[in-house]
């Protein structure tokens, strides 16, 4: 009789365990139950608890490493680019390794020019005299420093001081923007031990 009761209790315990929901939250630190791998969320937009916590957290601006540097703009000013305004001007810059172009709209053509240590994207009007302007550039060789206000080989400390963030810890790359609202012109700075190794201009074109 006692043996029968023991078996019955074991069966009841097994049924209770089978009806328990496995822990499917990967943030719990426990090994996931195998059934979690095949489980579909309840509803199209359902999330696991760990995903829900991430979705509820607002973005942290400090992680984005976007700092305000007043006066920064892609064209003109102290920190801007000083690029040619014609296709012929780009072809005369130096040893051109590559050039690509495509129709950007009914009024503009897009061009990309590649050199050693420099690449530039620019747009030019289809109507004569076909003038244009740079909309982006990447500079990694100091011999092109005359084309930009932010110099490869210069100290990052000056930019940090001008952006009122002197002493703030930043990691490479860090973006400096003319303002932090809307769609500003920015320069993404790569650096090693406080020395600028690459400058990427990212321009707002509307």
Residue 166: predicted pLDDT: 58
Residue 144: predicted pLDDT: 98
Contacts of 202 (CB under 8 A, 6+ apart): 136, 175, 185, 186, 187, 188
Contacts of 170 (CB under 8 A, 6+ apart): 65, 67, 156, 160
Report the C-alpha gap between 123 and 132 in whole angstroms: 5
Residue 87: predicted pLDDT: 95
pTM: predicted TM-score of the whole model, two decimal places: 0.67
64-79 pLDDT tens trace: 588 999 889 998 889 9
Report the C-alpha gap between 13 and 21 in whole angstroms: 15
pLDDT, block means (10 residues), the chain with 206 residues: 49 47 40 38 34 34 72 91 96 96 92 98 92 96 97 94 77 91 89 97 85
165-175 pLDDT tens trace: 756 688 999 99
Residue 98: predicted pLDDT: 97
Q: Which tokens is 165 given?
A: 């963030």
């Amino acid at each position: 009789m006692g043996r029968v009761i023991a078996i019955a209790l074991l069966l009841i315990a097994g049924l209770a365990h089978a009806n328990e929901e496995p822990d499917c939250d990967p943030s719990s630190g426990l090994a996931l139950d195998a059934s979690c791998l095949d489980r579909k969320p309840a509803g199209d937009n359902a999330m696991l608890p760990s995903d829900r916590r991430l979705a509820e957290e607002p973005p942290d601006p400090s992680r984005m490493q976007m700092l305000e540097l007043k006066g920064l703009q892609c064209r003109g000013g102290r920190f801007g680019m000083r690029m040619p305004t014609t296709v012929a001007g780009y072809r005369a810059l130096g040893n051109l390794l590559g050039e690509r172009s495509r129709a950007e709209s009914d009024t503009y053509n897009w061009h990309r020019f590649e050199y050693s240590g420099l690449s530039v994207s620019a747009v030019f009007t289809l109507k004569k005299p076909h003038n244009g302007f740079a909309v982006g550039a990447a500079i990694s060789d100091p011999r092109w420093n005359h084309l930009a206000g932010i110099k490869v080989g210069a100290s990052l400390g000056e930019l940090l001081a001008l952006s009122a963030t002197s002493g703030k810890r930043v990691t490479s790359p860090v973006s400096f923007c003319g303002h932090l609202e809307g769609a500003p012109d920015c320069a993404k700075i790569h650096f090693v031990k406080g020395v600028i190794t690459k400058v990427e201009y990212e321009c707002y074109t509307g």
